[in-house]
Structure formats: C-alpha cells, structure tokens
Amino acid sequence: MNTLADLTASPPLEVPSAQVWIRQMVASTRPSGGLALRIRLTADMPLMTSSIEREQVLRESRREEGRRAVDLVHALRRGALEGPISLELQGFGFRHASAGVLPCTPDGACWLFARDIPPVGWNIANGGSQCLGDLLHPEALMKREAAEEILFFHPTRQVLGALAAPGTHVELDRALTLWRQRLGLAEDAVVALPHRFSDAGPDTLVILHEDETHVTQGVHLNLQEEDASLEVIRPLELENEIAAEWLPLDGEILDGRLLDRTVGRFRLDAWEAHAAWKSGQPQGAPPRLPPCPVTRHIRRALGAPDVPGDLFNLRSE
C-alpha cells in the first residue's frame, strides 16, 4: 500500500482517491460550544488509493473499537465527559478526508441523493479526497464536491444551473457537457446559481502536517463507525426560488458516464419526503430509503428534534 509520502514525491502520485486512516486524535470542547478535533498527518501513514483498498481495510477493522471512540466523542460533545481526550486506536481508523454539503433553502427544503452502495440511503452531496491539498484543506474538497454533484435544470428557460463557472473544475465541465447533450441544450446554456456556504457550524478541525497547521472552522464534524469516516459538513444555502422553479440533477460521473442518481426533496426538520426526480423528470414520491448516518447527524446538528423510525414520512405535493 502507498503512503502519504507518495503524494509529496516528485512527481507526485496521481490516483483517483487518496485517503488516510486516522487512528490518533485529540478531542475537546470549544469555549463557545461545539467540538474541536486535532489530527496529525505523517509521511508514513498508509494511503488508500482505491475502493478495493478501502473495503479491505473496513473488513479488517474492529468495529467495536470504532463504536467506543464515537461514543466517547458524543459524550464529550453533550457535556457528559470532560475533555480533552486523546484517542489512540489500534484496530480501527477514521477515513480522512471526507467532506460534503447539505443543499437547502431558507424555507426548509433540502435535496438528498439516493445512494445504492453501503451505507445505502439518502445522502448529502459529499466525497473523498484525491490529493494532498484535499487532505489538508477539506474546505476546498467540500466546495469542489458540491460544484461537481449539485446541478439544476430550468425547464422553461432551458438552462442548467451550477454553483461554479464552466472551466472551474474538470469534472463539472464533463457533467455540464453530458447533461447539455442529454437534454438537448445550447452550448452556453449554463447560469450561476446564487448560493452561500454557511459558516455557522459549532465545530473546528485542526490538521497538523509537518510544520504547518491548517484550521477549518464553523463546520459540523461527524464521526461515524458505520463507514469509518470523519466527515466535514456545511449547509449550502440556496434561494427559495430554486425549490419552486428548478429541477435537481445529479452531476456525479462514474466511468465517463452520468451516474444519474435519484434526487429527492425533503424537509429534514419535519422528517418529510416530498418529491423525487431522475434525469430531470418527476418520479413522484421519493423511494422508501433510510437516511444515511451523515444525514441523520446533520439533521440533529441543525436542531431538528429526534423522531422514531428510519424512514421519512411521505407528503405528496
């Protein structure tokens, strides 16, 4: 298996995925509330460069050790435990970096993607790191993943709506081209959608690498044992007219083709599922899937009350 040092070699290793296992971290609470996690990246860390390597490590992980670590951090967060606490794991690690956004509007609408690989369910727009820059700057990873995955289509104006301008990201350009071809749109049929990445989250991630310190503030941090991830999340604020006038599209690409996952619109505060689309076409009620663990976490983090059961309540529009 490669190591983190391969990403800083000359020339650097070029891989589709570049994630490390975090086995040591220091967790504490911030004076203003929220969680602070401090991790250190070292050159000898094993580097996962494919889904095959990631799944192999997951199979060999001691899940009970991961669950205990998650429980300790949750206890610290809710004030049942005094910090700081140092976690030193032997048979388990959390994947870094993973980052994403919850696209939502001020009136409470949000969009989730139907995920058909473990953990199966309704997921936020997120993804894993591909280079050293992503590992050190999860904020940049988060914004790139949002731009590549979240697209909209206005059926009356016959234009695509994107978070970033064409030419900003290679994968975004590919997605825009494929969707323009599929929907029969003009070459310049792309407009920028007004948006804002919320910085009101309570948590902070501190990443130490060599003699540098990289701090990401105002986010929601989620440690989960199920897919062994340390997730960095921000709400992505869109205007209300997006929910009223635009149809959601999936910009994710796999093997050169649009993945075209079903996109659903929900109210997380009310735990309601409203509608779903695929290829820009209405599909009626969203499929009866549970929310992914990270979706449940961001819902709780945003102050929504706990609800019984794993499925959203259907509400037709």
37 close to 205: Cβ distance less than 8 angstroms? yes
285 close to 222: Cβ distance less than 8 angstroms? no
How high is the pLDDT of residue 8? 82
pLDDT in tens, the chain (317 residues): 899 999 888 787 888 889 999 999 999 998 878 999 999 999 999 999 988 898 898 899 999 999 999 999 999 999 999 989 999 999 999 999 999 999 999 999 999 999 998 889 999 999 999 999 999 999 999 999 999 999 999 999 999 999 999 999 999 999 999 999 999 999 999 999 999 999 999 999 999 999 999 999 999 999 999 889 999 999 999 999 999 999 999 999 999 999 999 999 999 888 889 999 999 999 988 999 999 989 988 988 888 776 666 777 887 65
Question: What are the φ/ψ torsions at residue 272 (nearest 5 degrees)?
Answer: -115, 140
Asked if the bond preceding 291 is cis, omega within 30° of 0, the reply is: no
Q: Which residue has the tokens 């911030």?
A: 30
How high is the pLDDT of residue 303? 81
How high is the pLDDT of residue 306? 67
Spatial distance between the Cα atoms of 107 and 104, rounded to a whole number of angstroms: 8
Q: How many CB atoms lie within 10 A of CB 299?
A: 20
266 close to 302: Cβ distance less than 8 angstroms? no
- The structure tokens listed for 11 are 């020339």
pTM comes to 0.94
Handedness of CA 176, 248, 294, 59 (dihedral sign): negative
